[in-house]
Every structure is written in structure tokens, then in C-alpha cells.
Chain A
């Protein structure tokens, strides 16, 4: 499967996750977010950028708790919880945010 953004084609899997992580850029992220019914705001980018940085270091998306803690440190404790993340990414922060960040889908019993 594939998506087309600004005249360029990007390969995705059945669920719309990018196959080649290096294909990711902000336009692609905006397009993927739109597909999910999400309008990207500064708050969304905070999360996406953190996910990408973490992935670059550890080759895996961060645990939900690691993510909430990092967001809490950056944006204040009232935002350092999974409820805040669910408001931004209603289908679930792990799967939906990873998709927009161009990372593989977390698998297993999650």
C-alpha cells in the first residue's frame, strides 16, 4: 500500500504505518494525522518529536509512562498523564502517535 503526499509516493503497511522510517517528514506527518482525524497543534508536535528522539536512541517507542513523565517535565505536571495524551491522540497515544511519528506499531499485549 502507499500514500501520496505533495506528489511523492510513500510505502505503508495495511494499517497505514510507514514502511521506511526514513521517509518521514513533517508533511507526511500532517497527512497521516489528517487521515486519523487529528489536526496537528504545537502540543501534538511536542509528543511526536519526543517519540522520534526516543526511537532514535532506543529503536523502540517509549513506554507510555516514560512518555507521560517526559511530557510532564516539559509542560507541567497537569499534562504528565495518559489522560492528556488520550485527549491529543484519542485512539491511544502509543499506536496513533507512533503512526504519525512514522514509527512502527507497538506489538504484543498492548
Chain B
């Protein structure tokens, strides 16, 4: 695990379209999931020995997905190769590999689509750039569809609105089905199903960690702030990424959530059964997997009898919660099974269900229920990194753009010094941290470091110009990824932190001296 050797991109005076280096990242691929990991999820353990069998299974699954997801078929058909997306991908900008141009990455799949599912491709494959599915092609899928973080920046610039992430998800789903899964994501899904969170943190360890936090906060502030677990009848169930219990700087935001609940006098609880907001089922494009993970949260909410469900700082969790929980679990309107109906009766209709922790905190700030000593954050000059799944796949509050404005409004309410990065790199045009979508694993470090390059360039600019020393974000992956890659670009790893870490620093708890 000693850090691998590779070239780190150099900061440029003017960000231009990078020169092309064919095959620059052809060597990049994640570890393949073992048969044990695969089978625990109900997938085939490994690839069939006979290539023809794999070939047929891939085409069959591809056909099934095309029939099931109209969107996939539209995305396969509608690209006109206009080139709008080519220089929008952080992995292309950072690696120079032309196959990381979103259009070219999708073409790896589209060329197979044309060969097997369109008439011209069946009759005259060469004329339409259709190609046979071979083992080399499948290996290429495994390499390059794990060089996409499903961040959807390219989709923002696509005149046809092609959702590249959905293409990546479909490819990964097919790979999973034929026994060619990715170790990192699938191992994590196995842990959530078995233990309740991505880390594999069992209940007693969680209890011990939370008890420790209560001690620490008491020591720091003199106030007994609680971090409750499995408390029946609490008003709010908070689901947050398990990294918030484990890692730095994540845990600082968890401390912040607790302080907000305390200061507002709202009872809350975490759940040991649903101790994970993250849902890697999204990354792998498996509806069934995604549903299974989401259902744990519904069950916890029903058992604990809560009135509200709030989601902590996690990018893709909020996408799943905001966009899919209603049909996956009946949380939000839309579910018609008995559990969904029961849940709808139980949840308080006065509040948006589910709510993001930033919406929750911002509401309280607007009602004047939270007070801050802003100067407590005066040692920080802060910028905000929009996390891709929050920015481009969800919303907050009741106005368009709330997902951009609310986190910034919170920061400005708790701190005096805030400055945004270049407008071409924030809000809906935000650059991915380079570690999202299931690639936050050590064997992909080269790609992660290079993929972070555009964000690092924009950060460098505000660091040099305004002395920024804190980049706030609301995603566990962003936090872990930046902690790892910042030093490669000459920054301190502690430059990244959470929005509720800033809240935590400035909030008045009542009862202080």
C-alpha cells in the first residue's frame, strides 16, 4: 500500500482542452470481486470459463435492460457525437486518455449495442462502427466504466440530455450479473445487508463510539449533548453515512448534527439497524440492491416510531433519498404497499419527508431557533465544494437552486469569511472530487488523484487569491477523497471538512459560561 508512482498533473495558467494521450489509463482497473462477495449478493461468482456463455449472457442482460429502461435505449440511440461533453469530464482532463471523454466511454457500449440491437449494425457492422463483443471489449468495459464517477457533469452540457451515469450504471450492472463485479462496491453492499452499514460497524461498537463522543463534547463545551442510538419514540431518525462514525473529518459533522438537535430541543435518534445513509446499489445500477438497502431505513423508521427522517452529509444518499425513496420504500409519496401506507400515517406531514440535514438546520436558523458566535470560525477562510449528486440530481428547500444556496447560506450564517471558487466549477457545473460513484478505493488512486485535478486547480486559485484554508462539503466520499488527494497537490489534508463542522464550531448550546 506504499503509494504508487505516477505523474501528478501540473497546474495550468489557463485551463484549456488537454492534449490526447491514447491508452494513458488503459492499465487502470479495480480489483475483481471474489466469488464469495458476488454470491452473497446473489450474483454469479465469476465469469464462465466458456467465453461464448459469457458473451450470450452479456447480450441477454443488455437486451433485458434496454427493454426495462426506456432511457437506456434512448441514450444508446440519440448521441450525435457532437463533442460537447468531450472536455467536461474531470477524468479526461486529469488523465488525457481519450476513452475518458464521456462520448468515447459510452461508445464502448454503444458500439456493441449497434452490433446486436440495430439493423444496420447487424448487416454492415463496419460501416456503422459496430463491433462484436469479445473478452477484450468486456475487459475494456471493466476498466473504463470504473473510470466514471457517475457525476453527470457531462450530462449538463449534452444538448440531448444524455445521462452518462445511467450508461455507466447499466454497464456495471451487466458486469455484476455475469460474474465480473468490482470488489470495493460489492464487498460494501454485502456488509450493509449483513451488518447495517458500509463499514461493517456492529451495534456495540457504534454504541461505544457514540458514548465516547458524548464524553468529548461534554469536555469541550461543558454541555451534555446526546448522541442517542435506537431510542424509541424520538421525533427524528437521522441516517448518515457510517464514515461519520469512523473517519476524520467526517465525525466533526456528526458532532455538529447532535449540537443542532440539542440547541433546538428536538429529540432524535440514530438506528443501529439502519446505520448507513449511503447506498452503493445506485452506483452499480441495480434497482433490487438499491431497494434492499433503502428498506432497512423504512423498517427502522417504523420500529422506532419517528415522525421525521433526516439525512446527514452524504451526496449519493441524498440523491437516493430525494429521488428514489418514494418508489423504493414509500418514504415520501408514491408507495402503496401496507408498510408505505403505515409509514405515511406515522410521519409528520408538516415537514418535507425526507429532509436533508442542511434543510433542517437552515429552517431552524430562519426561525431564529439557533444562535451562533460567528467569530469562532474567524480562523477559517471558507469555500464550498458542491458534491455532484446533491448538485445535479436533487434539490433542497422550496426553490430551484436550493441545493446550492442553502449550504452556502448556512456557512454564511455561522462564519464571516466565505468565498466561492470559479463559477465554471461550482453549482451545477461543479467538478467531482474524483472519488465518487464507487471508485474510492486504493487500487484506483492514480485515477482518483488525476480526476481531482480540475477541482484542485479551482481550489488553488482561491487559496492563492483569498487565502482559503477550509473547503466545506456535504459528502462523505468528497471528505475522504480530498483528505487523501489534497497532499498530492501541495495542500494540507485538513483543508477539507463538513458544513456541520462549521456549524459545530459556532453554535451556542445554551448553558455555556
Which A residues lie at the B interface, using CB under 8 A? 14-16, 35-37, 58-60, 62-66, 69, 82, 91-92, 94-96, 99, 104, 106-110
A35, A94, A107: the one within 8 Å of B200 (CB): A107
Interchain CA distance A59-B442 in the complex, whole Å:
23
With both chains docked as a complex, state the minimum distance between the C-beta of B249 and any C-beta of chain A, in angstroms.
9
Given contacts A58-B208, A109-B440, contact A95 B199 (CB under 8 A): no
Interchain CA distance A107-B187 in the complex, whole Å:
8
A63 lies within 8 A of B278 (CB): no
List 6 additional A-B contacts (Cβ < 8 Å) besides A64-B247, A108-B242.
Answer: A58-B208, A65-B216, A95-B442, A107-B184, A108-B246, A110-B199
Interchain CA distance A98-B39 in the complex, whole Å:
26
Q: How many of chain B's residues have a CB under 8 angstroms from any CB in A?
A: 41
Q: Is B191 interfacial (CB-CB < 8 Å)?
A: yes
Interchain CA distance A15-B2 in the complex, whole Å:
10
CB-defined contacts of B466 to chain A, threshold 8 Å: none
A36 lies within 8 A of B1 (CB): yes
Given contacts A14-B443, A108-B188, A108-B241, contact A60 B199 (CB under 8 A): yes
Number of residue pairs A-B, CB distance < 8 angstroms: 98
B184 lies within 8 A of A58 (CB): no
Given contacts A58-B204, A108-B199, contact A63 B251 (CB under 8 A): yes
A60 lies within 8 A of B188 (CB): no
A92 lies within 8 A of B242 (CB): no
Interchain CA distance A35-B2 in the complex, whole Å:
8
Interchain CA distance A92-B247 in the complex, whole Å:
11
A–B Cβ pairs within 8 angstroms, 26 of them: A15-B31, A15-B443, A36-B1, A58-B204, A58-B205, A58-B208, A59-B205, A64-B246, A64-B248, A64-B251, A65-B209, A65-B213, A65-B216, A65-B248, A66-B212, A69-B216, A91-B1, A96-B1, A107-B188, A107-B191, A107-B200, A108-B197, A109-B243, A109-B440, A109-B477, A110-B246
Which B residues lie at the A interface, using CB under 8 A? 1-3, 31, 183-184, 187-188, 191, 197-202, 204-205, 208-209, 212-213, 216, 241-243, 245-248, 250-251, 278, 314, 440, 442-443, 476-477, 479-480, 484
With both chains docked as a complex, state the minimum distance between the C-beta of A38 and any C-beta of chain B, in angstroms.
9
Task: Kindly report which residue of chain B lies nearest to residue A108, judged by CB atoms.
Answer: B198
Task: Kindly report which residue of chain B lies nearest to residue A107, judged by CB atoms.
Answer: B188
Interchain CA distance A102-B469 in the complex, whole Å:
36
With both chains docked as a complex, state the minimum distance between the C-beta of B210 and any C-beta of chain A, in angstroms.
10
Task: Kindly report which residue of chain A lies nearest to residue B184, judged by CB atoms.
Answer: A107
CB-defined contacts of B242 to chain A, threshold 8 Å: 108-109
B440 lies within 8 A of A66 (CB): no
Task: Kindly report which residue of chain A lies nearest to residue B245, judged by CB atoms.
Answer: A63
Majority DSSP secondary structure for residues of B touching A: helix
Task: Kindly report which residue of chain A lies nearest to residue B190, judged by CB atoms.
Answer: A107
CB-defined contacts of A107 to chain B, threshold 8 Å: 184, 187-188, 191, 198-200
Interchain CA distance A83-B410 in the complex, whole Å:
29
Given contacts A14-B31, A92-B484, A110-B247, contact A99 B199 (CB under 8 A): no
B246, B250, B477: the one within 8 Å of A106 (CB): B246
With both chains docked as a complex, state the minimum distance between the C-beta of A101 and any C-beta of chain B, in angstroms.
13
Interchain CA distance A50-B388 in the complex, whole Å:
38
CB-defined contacts of A109 to chain B, threshold 8 Å: 198, 241-243, 247, 250, 278, 314, 440, 476-477, 479-480
B212 lies within 8 A of A65 (CB): yes
Query: Can you list the 7 inter-chain pairs with the closest CB atoms, starting with the nearest?
Result: A108-B198, A109-B476, A58-B205, A109-B243, A110-B247, A108-B199, A63-B246
A36, A58, A110: the one within 8 Å of B2 (CB): A36
A91 lies within 8 A of B246 (CB): no
CB-defined contacts of B440 to chain A, threshold 8 Å: 109
CB-defined contacts of B216 to chain A, threshold 8 Å: 65, 69
A91 lies within 8 A of B2 (CB): yes
Q: Which of B202, B247, B443, B476 lies at the interface centre, i.e. has the most chain A CB atoms within 10 A of its CB? A: B247
B480 lies within 8 A of A99 (CB): no
With both chains docked as a complex, state the minimum distance between the C-beta of B232 and any C-beta of chain A, in angstroms.
24
With both chains docked as a complex, state the minimum distance between the C-beta of B284 and any C-beta of chain A, in angstroms.
15
